[in-house]
Structure 1
């Protein structure tokens, strides 16, 4: 599975392409996830006294752990009842070593900002505003 991960530079290139593809199609989402990798480390099971003293012993390992960052468009099939064409599912992942985290996140933020430019502002429903106004008026009133 380690061979399936892209290098950080390839990941950024393909992530930018994924944002561009979704923007040109006019619809779609990009899902971004990240978590620490623990399968390749030697986290030995602690003795009972260590667990009693610190139940979250595995949240601060002796050596920093690498991070896996994933991106996907979460598409795979044609939506029933719509005229949208089937879009191939795209899955990207990369592993970031602890000493590269700061530079990675700086570039990651730039790619995400560039990919999110041009998004339309979300339409707000009037019903929510009206309910808030009514509630505010009701709070200040007293029964006579």
Structure 2
């Protein structure tokens, strides 16, 4: 991983965004930079002791990796330039393809509609058409079982919701 200065990081990041406009992702990581070899106290944090920490920014697209360290004095100036770059790169993002989502929602609505409509059992019990009637009876039983499963799930959901709204009061 390359550690570069702040201006180089911004130019490399804009190049990375330009490279991944059609396909690909960019991962950005922000961390507090801790110097190696220093003893860190966990009891109250560094801000109370008057210490100021640098910020470490990392960027990668899976192949190219680079990072920069920003001192606390340059943080405001750097974040304004960094924010401008992010806003510019976000405006070039592609719109989500909602066709597939709409298709899935329509299929789910059709399944629910079919589940709510009763299956009609008709035909003779014996003779011609017997197998058709048996298939209809089997489908009706399956539909009733699915309705019962959905009913139990809804009941359990209601109970969980009621328990969350009115938690049991502890007595000590």
**TM score, norm. by length of structure 1:** 0.62
* Contact 2:5/2:68 (<8 A) preserved: yes
The question of 1:100 aligning with 2:74 is answered yes
Counterpart residue number, 1:123: 97
Q: Separation in 2 of the partners of 1:30 and 1:116?
A: 11
1 or 2 for the larger relative contact order (CA 8 Å, sep ≥6)? 1
More helix by share: 2
Q: Separation in 1 of the partners of 2:33 and 2:39?
A: 11
Counterpart residue number, 2:28: 32
| Unpaired segments ≥5 residues, structure 2 | 113-153, 155-172
1:42 shift after superposition: 3.9
- Number of residues of Structure 1 aligned to a counterpart in Structure 2: 107
Which secondary structure does the structure 1 equivalent of 2:20 belong to?
A: helix
Map 1:1-144 onto structure 2 (within 5 A): 4-23=2-21, 26-40=22-36, 42-45=38-41, 55=43, 57-58=44-45, 60=47, 61-74=49-62, 89-124=63-98, 125-126=101-102, 127-128=104-105
* Contact 1:19/1:116 (<8 A) preserved: no
1:120 shift after superposition: 1.3
* Contact 1:67/1:95 (<8 A) preserved: yes
| Unpaired segments ≥5 residues, structure 1 | 46-50, 75-88, 140-144
Q: CA RMSD in A?
A: 2.8
